[in-house]
Chain A
């Protein structure tokens, strides 16, 4: 596009030029193709679809790994460091939970919904909401409360992805655990998170949290 201002109608603002471009593009898209065969277009569309969909899912799965989560020091130095000493990181059989096992729903729709919610976490990362240990401690109760609410709302689904109440052999449990699970879990009176708070990360200030002093 010439900028020498010989033709006065060419010198337009950025938004106006964008609008003209969009209108031209729309005209191209709404007219039938006169160059490519229908088969070419269908095939190209199919291939492009596979690439876009595959790329989207691959990118999604990359953001669903512990390596990605602990790529930020906020996660690595606080919650991941705390996880390391718990039974969900190290135990006798070596089966362990990674961050997304507990914090991202496994079925697709809920996963996408959670990923959209996580855009707020990107905001927090950019503006350094919890970029020091002190700031993290200040926000710990709020962050934990979000997760407790989520687990409570979905009946501790992420716990139950591995720990099935049906497969629990209460005769193999300690008497205390066996009694508690029969009284509260099997009767559906309580869900996992009601009793098992703070099992993977340190607890926030628990004053005012039901069941705590």
Chain B
């Protein structure tokens, strides 16, 4: 008797649980108020940041992000639009930062005369930045902030 009433109770509980699940709209920061079994409207595409001002790197090894639009830039076997400003010989005219010397290095650490083939495809590491607000916040702090934090024993 005790067992049966427990099963009935459990059944009701599960039924109530599922109905409340389907009734309420699950609000999630990422997918919005669209029910789980529907596909919501795609968010509008936002323009890329196009300030042409260098952005701070979060850590020294970070590939600098591209602070301008690169729509339609051809980077393939035939040519590299990025290098028509960022190549060593082009920087006087373009006033763009030169590709770093590490890009001239092959995998054995030998410096080549021009950009190494393995570093030719810029957008493998360097990417333009969008103006969208990130849907998930990021609590990354850089090393300078970490080091300047007041530690329990006082700043060293």
Binding site for B on A (CB under 8 A): 86-87, 174-176, 179-180, 195, 198-199, 202-206, 209, 211-213
A204 to B53, CA, bound (A): 31
Closest to A140 in B: B78
Any A CB within 8 A of the CB of B84? yes
Q: Are A174 and B52 in contact (CB under 8 A)?
A: yes
Min distance, Cβ A9 to any Cβ of chain B, angstroms: 69
Any A CB within 8 A of the CB of B11? no
5 new A-B contacts, CB < 8 A, other than A174-B50, A211-B84, A212-B80, are A175-B50, A175-B51, A179-B95, A205-B79, A213-B80
Q: Are A203 and B74 in contact (CB under 8 A)?
A: yes
Q: Are B78 and A213 in contact (CB under 8 A)?
A: no
A164 to B6, CA, bound (A): 82
Min distance, Cβ B82 to any Cβ of chain A, angstroms: 10
| B48-64 CB contacts (< 8 Å) to partner A | 50-53
- Given A204-B78, A206-B78, does the pair A211, B90 have CB atoms closer than 8 Å? yes
Q: Are A87 and B72 in contact (CB under 8 A)?
A: yes
Q: Which chain B residues border A202 with CB–CB below 8 Å? A: 74, 78
Q: Are B83 and A213 in contact (CB under 8 A)?
A: yes
Q: Are B74 and A198 in contact (CB under 8 A)?
A: yes
| B72-101 CB contacts (< 8 Å) to partner A | 72, 74, 77-81, 83-84, 87, 90, 94-95
Closest to B96 in A: A176
Binding site for A on B (CB under 8 A): 50-53, 68-69, 71-72, 74, 77-81, 83-84, 87, 90, 94-95, 114-115
- Contact of A198 (CB < 8 Å), options: B53, B81, B114, B115: B81
Please count the residue pairs between chain A and chain B whose beta carbons lie under 8 angstroms apart in the complex: 47
Chain B interface, DSSP helix/strand/loop, else mixed: loop
Q: Are B50 and A213 in contact (CB under 8 A)?
A: no
- Given A87-B72, A202-B74, does the pair A213, B87 have CB atoms closer than 8 Å? yes
A143 to B151, CA, bound (A): 68
Q: Which chain A residues border B87 with CB–CB below 8 Å? A: 213
Min distance, Cβ B10 to any Cβ of chain A, angstroms: 58
Q: Are B84 and A212 in contact (CB under 8 A)?
A: yes
A82 to B143, CA, bound (A): 46
Q: Are B79 and A206 in contact (CB under 8 A)?
A: yes
- Contact of A212 (CB < 8 Å), options: B52, B53, B83, B115: B83
A168 to B69, CA, bound (A): 19
Min distance, Cβ A213 to any Cβ of chain B, angstroms: 5
Q: Are B72 and A86 in contact (CB under 8 A)?
A: yes
A7 to B99, CA, bound (A): 91
Min distance, Cβ A83 to any Cβ of chain B, angstroms: 12
- Contact of B114 (CB < 8 Å), options: A87, A180, A213: A213
Q: Are A174 and B68 in contact (CB under 8 A)?
A: yes
Min distance, Cβ A138 to any Cβ of chain B, angstroms: 13
Min distance, Cβ B116 to any Cβ of chain A, angstroms: 12
- Given A175-B51, A212-B84, does the pair A205, B71 have CB atoms closer than 8 Å? no
A204 to B78, CA, bound (A): 6
Q: Are B115 and A213 in contact (CB under 8 A)?
A: yes
Min distance, Cβ B89 to any Cβ of chain A, angstroms: 8
Q: Are B78 and A203 in contact (CB under 8 A)?
A: yes
Q: Which chain B residues border A206 with CB–CB below 8 Å? A: 78-79
Min distance, Cβ A96 to any Cβ of chain B, angstroms: 15
- Given A213-B87, A213-B115, does the pair A198, B79 have CB atoms closer than 8 Å? yes
- Given A175-B52, A212-B83, A213-B114, does the pair A199, B78 have CB atoms closer than 8 Å? no
